[in-house]
């Protein structure tokens, strides 16, 4: 078989696989949305088991979920408590021990633990103690979490479900939404507020009116593919929160208000699923654990609502028979279709995720591997053509095929930039043309200075003092951040779309559910991704670590 026939055979195979996948997807039409959601859930579970080296969900519960009790596994515990008849005794004991022995700074983190404790049938007194110390202590999110606790008959001397409800209703904006800050609704906070208010939807006229306005707000914000944007970026987490809200209310996802261009919110979530069953934060991105967990949580909320009428955040229902999304008697088989690769956004201390070269501009460095790669590609192309000539396979199409393959390989080399940490963090300035001014950038983590044991948190909170950079026309906040990271050897984890998960080994969620990096320009918080904010001469950039979505800055 000659090279051309081989390529044709490969092409046919690829199209056959694609056609099979498309046929399977089409068979799972919107008429069987629950089955479709269960299929995606099964893929997520397979990914999580494969990643951790387990074969059953019970092994996962008794293993890493229990080991990370109180730190990172609470949503998984809630999911599994609602979706199958699993034994969560070991996890419950571990979480009770963690809560009793740890000084958890974030009120919302304490309440997330409380929700997990409720889901696994822990001592109500411990949950009440958390509610007493946490409800209302950290802005609107602590009111939302607090109402979930009180909806489950927890007690707090400072609030009742009624007073919390009134306080939340008083925070609704004119557009029908809620938000952490500003005067316009945010899709995530709006959906989460609706989730907490949902049990009163048909019982309290004021709540009914407020939720109806919120539903109109969420309907207007929905994209044509069924999904949602937050801070200018389409992502599955925002869409997941809307799906949970609809499920808490018991609304049909085919409600015409939430179907755009024939697409439901589940269609909007599925657009981010990766071949290994995990989810990305952005379209075409790598595995993101938060996106994966939120998709898992929301699809579980939908399935249990549809199959049993149960609600994700009402935990007395856990005592009844659960709807099993993946029966324990049928362990998930982790076949070759489930990747064992480490998620791309997992960073090992001592390494870094290097921003793409097109975002950092030209740099002064040695030629590197590319000239050698071009020589090798050219040599292989010559050898290939010579072999074809010797074997008398001299049809023009054969030689054209070799040239096309060589050209594709050369293009791959041209558009990629593989460098070690030492090469990337060269300490050199970025060489720029058409300089239009200067900006300053500062990176600080004052909010956690002295609070953590990490060697990467500076005592004075300064990761990078105020530093000046030249800017070219069209450069963004992200461009300057990556240039600063490269010049001053600052670890950076994110992607070229402007999603920043960590700076200097300090990551989002390290200090609670509301913690992470935000940026200011000239003292204001722009409501757009940092890769979209184009800078002007004299701008002042601040990257700041927050434990309360900016309210503590």
Question: What local confidence, expressed as pLDDT, does residue 259 receive?
Answer: 96
Give me the residues paired with residue 534 across strands.
476
Q: For residues 395 and 76, what is the distance between their CA atoms, to the nearest angstrom?
A: 59
Which among 46, 44, 76 has a CA at the least distance from the CA of 62?
76
Q: What is the average pLDDT across 498-515? A: 85
Question: What local confidence, expressed as pLDDT, does residue 378 receive?
Answer: 84
Contact between 496 and 356 (Cβ < 8 Å): yes
Which among 223, 306, 207, 213 has a CA at the least distance from the CA of 260?
223
Question: What local confidence, expressed as pLDDT, does residue 315 receive?
Answer: 92
pLDDT tens for 331-370 read: 443 332 233 233 333 332 322 333 333 333 333 344 456 7
Percent of the chain at pLDDT exceeding 90: 54
Sign of the CA dihedral 373, 375, 378, 384?
A: negative
Which residue in this structure is represented by tokens 């694609």? 18
Question: What local confidence, expressed as pLDDT, does residue 474 receive?
Answer: 86
Which CA distances in Å does 168 have to 162, 216, 405?
10, 18, 61
> Which of 167-171, 306-310, 377-381 has the highest mean predicted lDDT (pLDDT)?
167-171
Question: What local confidence, expressed as pLDDT, does residue 225 receive?
Answer: 95
Q: Got the DSSP string for 401-464?
A: HHHHHHHHHHHHHHT-----HHHHS--PPEE-SSEEEEEEEEEE-GGGTTT---TTS-TTSEEE
Backbone angles phi, psi at 470, to 5 degrees: -75, 150
Q: What is the average pLDDT across 48-59? A: 94
List the Cα angle 300/516/477 in 5-degree steps: 120
Q: What is the average pLDDT across 320-329? A: 42
Question: What local confidence, expressed as pLDDT, does residue 48 receive?
Answer: 95
Question: What local confidence, expressed as pLDDT, does residue 533 receive?
Answer: 87
- Residue 331, C-beta contacts closer than 8 angstroms, at least 6 positions apart: 55, 56
Question: What local confidence, expressed as pLDDT, does residue 63 receive?
Answer: 96
Question: What local confidence, expressed as pLDDT, does residue 496 receive?
Answer: 62
Q: For residues 92 and 113, what is the distance between their CA atoms, to the nearest angstrom?
A: 10
Q: For residues 100 and 223, what is the distance between their CA atoms, to the nearest angstrom?
A: 44
pLDDT band at 14 (very low <50, low <70, confident <90, very high): very low
Contact between 464 and 449 (Cβ < 8 Å): no
Q: For residues 373 and 156, what is the distance between their CA atoms, to the nearest angstrom?
A: 67
Name the more confident of 330 and 37.
37
Backbone angles phi, psi at 493, to 5 degrees: -125, 120
Q: What is the dihedral of CA 318, 322, 328, 334, to 10 degrees?
A: -100
Helix or strand or coil: residue 507?
strand
Burial letters 287-307, b for 16+ CB under 10 A, else e = bbbbbbbbbbbbbbbbbbbbe
Burial letters 357-378, b for 16+ CB under 10 A, else e = bebbbebeeeeeeeeebeeebe
pLDDT tens for 156-198 read: 999 999 999 999 999 999 999 999 877 889 999 999 999 999 9
Question: What local confidence, expressed as pLDDT, does residue 152 receive?
Answer: 95
Strands 435-444 and 430-431 turn out to be unpaired
Question: What local confidence, expressed as pLDDT, does residue 28 receive?
Answer: 40
Contact between 217 and 185 (Cβ < 8 Å): yes
Helix or strand or coil: residue 537?
coil
Question: What local confidence, expressed as pLDDT, does residue 32 receive?
Answer: 56
Helix or strand or coil: residue 329?
coil
Which CA distances in Å does 514 have to 14, 72, 123, 469, 508?
43, 14, 26, 30, 8
The lowest-confidence range among 102-111, 208-217, 297-306 is 102-111
pLDDT tens for 398-433 read: 878 888 888 888 777 676 655 544 444 556 677 787
Q: For residues 167 and 178, what is the distance between their CA atoms, to the nearest angstrom?
A: 12
Helix or strand or coil: residue 363?
strand
Residues comprising the chain, all counted: 553
Strands, sheet with 540-546, edge to edge from the N-terminal-most edge strand: 462-472, 435-444, 540-546, 516-521
pLDDT band at 324 (very low <50, low <70, confident <90, very high): very low
Which among 332, 330, 323 has a CA at the least distance from the CA of 81?
323
- Residue 355, C-beta contacts closer than 8 angstroms, at least 6 positions apart: 478, 482, 485, 486, 492, 494, 496
pLDDT band at 9 (very low <50, low <70, confident <90, very high): very low
Q: What is the dihedral of CA 431, 435, 439, 445, to 10 degrees?
A: -30
Look up the pTM and report it: 0.67
Helix or strand or coil: residue 246?
helix
Contact between 241 and 294 (Cβ < 8 Å): yes
The lowest-confidence range among 17-31, 236-250, 268-282, 381-395 is 17-31
DSSP state of 84: S
Question: What local confidence, expressed as pLDDT, does residue 187 receive?
Answer: 95
Using the predicted structure, report yes or no on whether residue 272 has a pLDDT greater than 50.
yes
pLDDT band at 543 (very low <50, low <70, confident <90, very high): very high
Please report which helix (H) or strand (E) contains residue 112, including its range.
helix 107-119
Which CA distances in Å does 2 have to 8, 178, 344?
10, 64, 38
pLDDT tens for 461-503 read: 999 999 999 999 889 999 999 999 999 999 988 766 677 889 9
Q: What is the average pLDDT across 525-546? A: 88
Neighbours of 457 (CB within 10 A): 19
pLDDT band at 317 (very low <50, low <70, confident <90, very high): low
Average pLDDT, rounded, for the chain: 82
- The phi-psi region of residue 374 (left if phi > 0; otherwise alpha if psi is between -120 and 50; otherwise beta) is alpha
Burial letters 89-104, b for 16+ CB under 10 A, else e = ebbbebbbeebeeeeb
pLDDT tens for 191-246 read: 999 999 999 999 999 999 999 999 999 999 999 999 999 877 899 999 999 999 99
- Residue 39, C-beta contacts closer than 8 angstroms, at least 6 positions apart: 28
Question: What local confidence, expressed as pLDDT, does residue 415 receive?
Answer: 65
Percent of the chain at pLDDT exceeding 70: 80
* 385 burial level (CB within 10 Å; 0-12, 13-18, 19+): middle
Question: What local confidence, expressed as pLDDT, does residue 368 receive?
Answer: 55
Backbone angles phi, psi at 41, to 5 degrees: -60, -45
Question: What local confidence, expressed as pLDDT, does residue 26 receive?
Answer: 39
């Amino acid at each position: 078989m000659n090279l051309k026939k081989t390529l044709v055979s490969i092409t046919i195979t690829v199209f056959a696989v694609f056609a099979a996948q498309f046929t399977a997807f089409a068979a799972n039409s919107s008429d069987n949305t629950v089955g479709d959601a269960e299929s995606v859930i099964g893929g997520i579970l397979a990914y999580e088991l494969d990643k951790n080296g387990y074969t059953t969900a019970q092994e996962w519960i008794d293993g890493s979920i229990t080991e990370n009790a109180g730190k990172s596994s609470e949503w998984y515990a809630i999911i599994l408590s609602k979706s199958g008849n699993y034994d969560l005794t070991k996890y419950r004991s571990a979480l009770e021990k963690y809560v009793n022995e740890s000084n958890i700074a974030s009120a919302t983190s304490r309440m997330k633990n409380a929700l997990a404790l409720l889901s696994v049938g822990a001592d109500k007194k411990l949950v009440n103690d958390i509610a007493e110390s946490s409800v209302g202590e950290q802005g609107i999110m602590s009111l939302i979490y607090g109402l979930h606790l009180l909806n489950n008959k927890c007690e707090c001397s400072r609030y009742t479900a009624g007073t919390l409800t009134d306080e939340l209703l008083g925070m609704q904006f004119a557009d029908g939404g809620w938000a952490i800050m500003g005067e316009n609704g945010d899709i995530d906070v709006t959906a989460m507020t609706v989730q907490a208010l949902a049990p009163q939807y048909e019982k309290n006229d004021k709540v009914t009116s407020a939720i109806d306005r919120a539903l109109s707000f969420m309907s207007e914000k929905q994209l044509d593919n069924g999904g949602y944007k937050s801070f200018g970026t389409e992502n599955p987490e925002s869409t997941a929160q809307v799906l949970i809200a609809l499920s808490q209310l018991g609304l049909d996802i085919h409600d015409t208000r939430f179907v755009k261009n024939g697409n439901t919110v589940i269609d909007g979530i599925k657009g981010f699923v990766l071949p290994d069953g995990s989810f990305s934060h952005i379209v075409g991105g790598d595995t993101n654990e938060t996106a994966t967990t939120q998709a898992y949580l929301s699809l579980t909320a939908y399935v249990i609502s549809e199959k049993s009428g149960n609600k994700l955040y009402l935990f007395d229902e856990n005592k009844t028979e659960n709807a099993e999304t993946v029966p324990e008697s049928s362990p998930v088989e982790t076949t070759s279709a489930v990747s064992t690769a480490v998620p791309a956004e997992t960073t090992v201390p001592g390494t870094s995720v290097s921003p793409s070269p097109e975002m950092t501009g030209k740099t002064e460095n040695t030629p590197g591997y590319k000239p050698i790669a071009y020589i090798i590609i050219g040599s292989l192309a010559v050898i290939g053509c010579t072999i074809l000539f010797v074997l008398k396979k001299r049809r023009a199409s054969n030689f054209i095929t070799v040239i096309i393959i060589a050209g594709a390989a050369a293009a791959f080399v041209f558009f990629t930039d593989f460098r070690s940490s030492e090469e990337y963090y060269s300490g050199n300035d970025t060489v720029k043309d058409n300089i239009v001014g200067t900006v300053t950038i500062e990176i600080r983590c004052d909010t956690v200075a002295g609070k953590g044991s990490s060697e990467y948190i500076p005592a004075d909170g300064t990761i990078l003092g105020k530093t000046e950079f030249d800017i070219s026309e069209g450069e963004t906040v992200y461009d300057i951040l990556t240039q600063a990271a490269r010049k001053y050897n600052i670890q950076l984890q994110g992607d070229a779309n402007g999603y920043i998960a960590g700076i200097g080994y300090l990551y989002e969620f390290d200090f609670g559910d509301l913690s992470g990096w935000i940026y200011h320009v000239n003292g204001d918080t722009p409501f757009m991704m940092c890769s979209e904010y184009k800078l002007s001469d004299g701008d002042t950039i601040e990257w700041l670590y927050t434990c309360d979505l900016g309210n503590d800055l």
